[in-house]
Structure 1
Amino acid sequence: MPTLPRLVPPRSPALAVPLPFPALPEDGAAKSGAQRLRTWEIPSTFHCSIIGTCLTTGELRQLLIRAGQEDARTATDHALHGRGVRLAGQRDQAARLLNKALDRRHENSIRRLPRQAGEETLRAIWRESFDRGDIAGPYWALMSHPASPPALVREIFGEVHMLSHLVGSASRLDIARLTLLERELEAEKDRSRRQQARLKAAAAERTGLQQRVGELEEWITRARASAIAAGRSTRAGERRRYAEEDAGAARADALAHRLAEAEERGHALQRELEQLQDLSHSILRENEALEAAVAAQLQAGRGVAPPSPAGPVLYVGGRRNLFDHLRAYAESRNVELLLHDGGMEDSTTMLPALVGQAATVLFPVDHISHTAVGLVKRLCRQQAKPYLPLRSAGLASFLAAISGAGGAYSQP
């Protein structure tokens, strides 16, 4: 199964400190022969986390509708959650439907837990499932297991509780970054539209000049034909004819020069438009990477994780005040990130060893010295390591590269 990014800190002895939970039976072994617990037999303190973690909003909505609550079709997600929590503590037919829905959805996880299991066995199964990103099923299976000791119940409840806080915080930051990037993208689109309008105006001017040159050439041809037909014999007439031809040729040359200048301006505008289009495409890819990152955080509870680069990633250059953010996002993707500021404070003599440790190398082209760029490229060619120049030292370019949306890596 896909690996869920580890968003919670390692277990701490603080989790073992008794929390203000209801009293739980202390003899887990004595319960080992009993039937699995139903929701109303589990202390109400845990109902909120069970409903929020082990059932989706859609499943809870359908369950409440089957239980006769027709207004659940239009109720908000928060209202549905509250109803589910209240229902978990009841002993009526609707509560039985809720309990069956939990057992049916997490049947595989329930089967994995031996009926006669000790505390260490149950804890080992939880640790392995949690590290793999499989949270919802094992959580319900352990909470309803007759042999789950109170210490283990408090421990897994604390981890799931903190996981919900960390995922919510990360999602809010990603949504804020996504909103900012969308604004930048709209500004770039407006600039691109203005450049396209300038290009069209230059093309129209070029067409007009070409038409004018054609008219002058036609006029010169008619003038020459008229002079020959008239058979002017006087020197004065010849001089006037030659003067007209010379004047027409001079005007044609001047218009041709203007046409060449217009064509050159058109080519320059075309090149500028292509650069803006490349920039727009880069920003679109970074936007897609941020959307994917937000979606990955929202889907974390389902054990779905996007692909990440294989092996350690070395990031050279950039801004030191963003290093903590880069490192935090890399850790959320299970990516080992190596950092070097490109020689501002870190010695460049460390680069050969760091390139040797990395599987891929990234560096922002707008915040790194030419010397560091040349050294990184040379080391990558010598050690046959791929490298990827990033558009900027901002977080968006780094997220796009880590998510595989930043473009192809340059091969040494």
Structure 2
Amino acid sequence: MLSHLVGAANRADIRRLTALEEENAALTAKVERQQLRLREAITSRDASIRRLGALAAQRAVEQARTATDDEDALAGLRQLVADLQAQLGTEVARRERLERRFAEAAEASRTARLRAEAAEAEARALQWELALLESAGVAESARAQPLLPALRVLYVGGRPGCVEQARDLLYAAGGALLAHDGGRHDHPSLLPGLVGRADQVVFPVDCVSHDAALTVKRLCRQLGKPFVPLRSAGIASFLAAFAAAGAHAPRRFEKDFP
């Protein structure tokens, strides 16, 4: 049964890892193309502004030489200057718009970079958890030393299927799993008693209410119980949390809950 679960989890995590890598590459390429187009457009507009300025100066000199005494020519010159000034104003306005777009693209690039870094971090975590799942499958087939400690663990929140998988794995390691759904059906008043009975408490940060997580952390600190916020509700994160602790003995392994 575990080998089947491990295989399914492996395939799902590999698909997720591949999708993250493809999204990261696409975002980076898109931002680079946008920045290149904006730089080219700004360069072209600057050149147009310089040409218009030079043309206005040249026309003004030429008209001044030939139409000093000609009122009609002078009026034409004034109109030409006015037209050129209007064109210049238009080009300046376009340049300002391009600069704003460039600033927006730079901000989008920064956001994309942060998303890429987050995706890379998640990809590394997925790779680590995949390795743990494979190890768990090998351990079961060879009846080797289990990855999980022989402890009484309280699991708060999560998805029912994953909680049952965790229960089976912990039972195989000689431990036991207590469960509380975080308040969906189980009353919050049950938490103090469950925390008191547990050797260690875990909860997935992506599948538990904020109030339940805060209550668990407060109770664990009051009762001196170690708690582990899991990266996700998947069984791989459950295994990874205990592997990260580095020992079968209970140990505090904290991070801030968002």
- Name structure 2 gaps, 5 residues minimum: 65-76, 247-251
Quote how far apart the aligned CAs of 1:310 are.
7.8
Q: Is structure 2 residue 203 aligned with structure 1 residue 363?
A: yes
Give the match for residue 138 of structure 1.
none
Cα deviations by residue, 1:254-304 (Å, 9 ceiling, x for unpaired): 22233233334434433443443333333222211111112222343xxx5
Q: Is structure 2 residue 52 aligned with structure 1 residue 223?
A: yes
Q: Is structure 2 residue 121 aligned with structure 1 residue 293?
A: no
Counterpart Cα distance in 1 of 2:242 and 2:21: 31
Please tell me whether the aligned partners of residues 157 and 204 of structure 2 are also in contact (alpha carbons under 8 angstroms).
Answer: yes
Q: Is structure 2 residue 29 aligned with structure 1 residue 200?
A: yes
Counterpart Cα distance in 1 of 2:162 and 2:41: 58
Please tell me whether the aligned partners of residues 386 and 411 of structure 1 are also in contact (alpha carbons under 8 angstroms).
Answer: no
Give me the CA root mean square deviation: 3.0
Higher radius of gyration, 1 or 2: 1
Secondary structure, aligned partner of 2:208: coil
Give the match for residue 181 of structure 1.
9
Secondary structure, aligned partner of 1:288: helix
Counterpart Cα distance in 1 of 2:95 and 2:163: 62
Cα deviations by residue, 1:222-257 (Å, 9 ceiling, x for unpaired): 432443355445422321231121021022122223
Q: Is structure 2 residue 39 aligned with structure 1 residue 210?
A: yes
Secondary structure, aligned partner of 1:404: helix
Please tell me whether the aligned partners of residues 45 and 91 of structure 2 are also in contact (alpha carbons under 8 angstroms).
Answer: yes
Counterpart Cα distance in 1 of 2:162 and 2:11: 21
Please tell me whether the aligned partners of residues 34 and 105 of structure 2 are also in contact (alpha carbons under 8 angstroms).
Answer: yes
Counterpart Cα distance in 2 of 1:224 and 1:183: 64
Q: Percent identity?
A: 33
Counterpart Cα distance in 2 of 1:395 and 1:307: 12
Cα deviations by residue, 1:346-376 (Å, 9 ceiling, x for unpaired): 3322322332343432112333223212211
Give the match for residue 96 of structure 2.
253
Amino acid paired to 1:262: A
Counterpart Cα distance in 2 of 1:345 and 1:186: 33
TM-score (norm: length of structure 1):
0.50
Change (3 A) 1:265 1:334: same
Amino acid paired to 2:42: V
Q: Is structure 2 residue 254 aligned with structure 1 residue 410?
A: yes
Change (3 A) 1:249 1:323: closer
Amino acid paired to 1:409: F
Change (3 A) 1:260 1:244: same
Give the match for residue 190 of structure 1.
18
Give the match for residue 401 of structure 1.
241
Q: Is structure 2 residue 156 aligned with structure 1 residue 316?
A: yes
Secondary structure, aligned partner of 2:201: strand
Secondary structure, aligned partner of 2:116: helix
Quote how far apart the aligned CAs of 1:216 are.
1.6
Quote how far apart the aligned CAs of 1:382 are.
3.6
Please tell me whether the aligned partners of residues 204 and 230 of structure 2 are also in contact (alpha carbons under 8 angstroms).
Answer: yes
Amino acid paired to 1:199: T
Give the match for residue 331 of structure 1.
171
Please tell me whether the aligned partners of residues 285 and 405 of structure 1 are also in contact (alpha carbons under 8 angstroms).
Answer: no
Give the match for residue 84 of structure 2.
241
Cα deviations by residue, 1:145-194 (Å, 9 ceiling, x for unpaired): xxxxxxxxxxxxxxxxxxxxxxxxxxxx2322232223223322432343
Change (3 A) 1:310 1:384: farther
Please tell me whether the aligned partners of residues 308 and 404 of structure 1 are also in contact (alpha carbons under 8 angstroms).
Answer: no
Q: Is structure 2 residue 232 aligned with structure 1 residue 388?
A: no
Counterpart Cα distance in 2 of 1:256 and 1:310: 62
- Name structure 1 gaps, 5 residues minimum: 1-172
Counterpart Cα distance in 1 of 2:56 and 2:20: 53
Give the match for residue 186 of structure 2.
346
Give the match for residue 9 of structure 1.
none
Quote how far apart the aligned CAs of 1:384 are.
4.7
Amino acid paired to 2:57: I
Please tell me whether the aligned partners of residues 315 and 340 of structure 1 are also in contact (alpha carbons under 8 angstroms).
Answer: yes
